[in-house]
Structure 1
């Protein structure tokens, strides 16, 4: 058992009751930003920009992995397609060119989940029929909703630092009480429109001990913690893990945090980030909030995108 212990499991009935309660918040009215992004107003973007002090930028993404590993059965493919044989040394103009392909929703590369990514009981967020997603593309709630990017105040809560350990062990789960305790200890509070980043130390453990089968065991949030995010009106949730723990706290639902956040609340998720460099900078500066810029690819009918969020301190 992980050192901190595992919070109580939820029955499927309890989970569904929780899901229905969060879903009752309902989709926004016509003309509003979709889902939880409605909490991220222009005024809050301006206030976040005013918090920049040093002009220091930090990537929150991990390098794309092109090697097979226990957590990367379908590694990204990247190759140089040009110059061809002899072109590099030939006179005149030539270009280097690349080709890249990725399983966007894998278990190792940093990515953003669009609101059409999570289907539950035949529906997407807001009751949109799940069959609007076809092999030809998604018909609603696609990545195009964030084509102009997501910019706002980022907040980092470092749970391993709170517990005095380098990382949380696979299977450990972060509760709402952990998040509140981290806020108190790290002198920050997540609020309306914030982009909340929860560090569990996944990347540091992977670098230190090597890759493992994260589909079977990983640290993440306990599903009940999502209620705190709803109460605080958080706009986006991100983590250096999958956001969901494994094994799941709900035996019948493998990814309960994804269901509650994306499908019930309409909250975009950022999975498998690398928050270690940001944690170091936040520690150096003595503050855990920053301007954050998230710019996914322009893939209009997609369910997600590789992403390189940037913190501006």
Structure 2
């Protein structure tokens, strides 16, 4: 299938339309009083069923290598320095240890990371109406990465939109609709269901690797806000993308990151941003299957709004 590019400017969402969309997906997601958001859509039975999908036992990372070089999409890169024996000199005999120190901007535009439910503030509140007053200079008190401290395990599903369109990647500014998500299901012979960990490839990482990085603040491919109705109807547990899931420029009047608002604030979906699927796609094609057991283990950062992450697909 080859489709015409879909640019944000060609399918705008007004402020009133966005408010209605926010209300609809929130209602369909049916947030509880004291829950883990959409992660509660995953049941132990579904985890066992996902484990039964393992065939070859091959494991594949969906994380991009951590960037330590400055670039147009990464002005504040991870800082990695060696400490210990390397700094003091390596002796010819006896025991020494090489050590490291790492500091990074978790929510940057290059490194793979998880957004916790306290990451998005919209109209003064967090997900499920939780007051944003719990966000302090010392950390967050509610809806933190700690909600996922036992890990996120379930059936992963990868929908490959460039494959559907017959192109290597979506160009910056293009978006994915709900109809395309459904079409990708059909083309890949599967169905996204309740509790699934949904990953949507737009080809961001391949484009970056082949053409070089660019300023993603102004231009990137992602989901159209209306595509979130597909996720709400299917009651998925998590959304991950190889961009940051939002299109730029924004499709929505007055909201720069509408997918983030709908996913995190309205639906309670943890987001995984800036993954890479270039290692996984050829394996899925070779095995002719696009679902797999998926294991995600965020760092135990009890007051943080996000975490570096390395999702693993087990086929």
TM-score, structure 2 length as denominator? Answer: 0.96
Farther-moved stretch of structure 1 (9-18 vs 83-92): 83-92
SS of equivalent to 2:227: helix
Q: Which runs of 5+ in 2 are unaligned?
A: none
Match of 2:16 among 10, 13, 27: 13
Match runs of 1:244-255 below 5 Å: 244-255=246-257
Match of 1:216 among 209, 215, 218: 218
What CA deviation, in whole Å up to 9, does each residue of 1:60-105 have, x standing for no partner? Answer: 0000000000000110000111214563233211000000011000
- Give 4+ residue runs of structure 1 displaced > 4 Å after superposition: none
Partners of 2:101 and 2:298 in 1: CA distance: 18
Partners of 2:242 and 2:87 in 1: CA distance: 41
Partners of 1:189 and 1:5 in 2: CA distance: 24
Contact 1:87 1:94 in 2 (8 A): no
Contact 1:196 1:237 in 2 (8 A): yes
Q: Does 1:34 align with 2:36?
A: yes
Contact 1:61 1:110 in 2 (8 A): yes
In the alignment, which residue of structure 2 is the partner of 1:163? 165
RMSD over aligned Cα atoms: 1.3
In the alignment, which residue of structure 2 is the partner of 1:143? 145
Once the two structures are TM-superposed, the CA of residue 22 in structure 1 deviates from its matched residue by 2.0
SS of equivalent to 2:51: helix
Match runs of 1:99-178 below 5 Å: 99-178=101-180
In the alignment, which residue of structure 1 is the partner of 2:272? 270
Contact 1:27 1:34 in 2 (8 A): no
Q: Does 1:76 align with 2:78?
A: yes
TM-score, structure 1 length as denominator? Answer: 0.97
Partners of 1:294 and 1:266 in 2: CA distance: 17
What CA deviation, in whole Å up to 9, does each residue of 1:224-265 have, x standing for no partner? Answer: 000110000000000000000101110310000000000000
Partners of 1:159 and 1:5 in 2: CA distance: 12
Partners of 1:10 and 1:86 in 2: CA distance: 59
In the alignment, which residue of structure 2 is the partner of 1:291? 293
SS of equivalent to 1:27: coil
Contact 1:58 1:312 in 2 (8 A): yes
What CA deviation, in whole Å up to 9, does each residue of 1:95-117 have, x standing for no partner? Answer: 00000011000001000000000
Partners of 2:137 and 2:87 in 1: CA distance: 37
The change in CA–CA distance for 1:204 and 1:98 in structure 2 (over 3 A counts) is same
Q: Aligned pair count?
A: 310
